[in-house]
């Protein structure tokens, strides 16, 4: 056995949890704690030796999230409603769309967002235009 494989075998019980896709919520929680600690340790250091490990652990967490907590697409008016609630906005505070009555019709689903609305809302809320489709 090569020296590097011998070292890996000796320390595998420490390393394996960092390299294995979580199968349970407890493993997922433990992995997210590891990622938080890694990110705190790495900070803004682009050349930190643990940056690739943090990226790999992040990918494992993302895969678990996608499998266990899929985000279903939402209609544009529901996305708009969410963004408004998140920012504490009222219907009359969206000049990008128009009058309060137009906003009301869009939020109720009676009227669709048009391309001009979507572009303006995307810019205002700093989200991709695709979230409104």
pLDDT band at residue 106, thresholds of 50, 70 and 90?
very high
Q: How many Cβ atoms sit within 10 Å of the Cβ of residue 67?
A: 10
Dist. CA 107–CA 99, nearest whole Å:
13
- At residue 133, the pLDDT reads 85
**What per-residue confidence (pLDDT) applies to 70?**
87
pLDDT at 71: 81
Q: How confident is the model at residue 104 (pLDDT cuts 50, 70, 90)?
A: very high
Please give the Cα distance from 45 to 65 (Å, whole number).
Answer: 27
Q: Please give the pLDDT value at position 90.
A: 94
Q: How many CB atoms lie within 10 A of CB 76?
A: 19
Burial 4-38 (b: 16+ CB within 10 A, else e): eeeeeeeeeeeeeeeeeebeeeeebeebbebbeeb
Query: CA dist 105 to 12, 77, 90, 110, 112, Å?
Result: 59, 9, 14, 5, 8
């Amino acid at each position: 056995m090569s020296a590097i494989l011998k070292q890996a075998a000796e320390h595998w019980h420490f390393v394996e949890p960092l390299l294995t896709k979580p199968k349970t919520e407890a493993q997922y929680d433990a992995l997210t704690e590891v990622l938080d600690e890694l990110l705190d340790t790495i900070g803004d250091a682009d050349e930190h030796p643990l940056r690739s490990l943090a990226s790999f652990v992040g990918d494992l967490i993302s895969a678990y999230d996608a499998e266990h907590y899929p985000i279903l697409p939402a209609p544009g008016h529901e996305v708009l409603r969410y963004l408004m609630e998140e920012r504490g906005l009222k219907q009359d505070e969206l000049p990008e769309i128009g009058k309060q009555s137009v906003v009301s019709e869009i939020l109720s689903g009676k009227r669709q967002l048009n391309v001009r609305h979507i572009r303006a809302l995307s810019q205002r809320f700093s989200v991709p235009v695709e979230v409104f489709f």
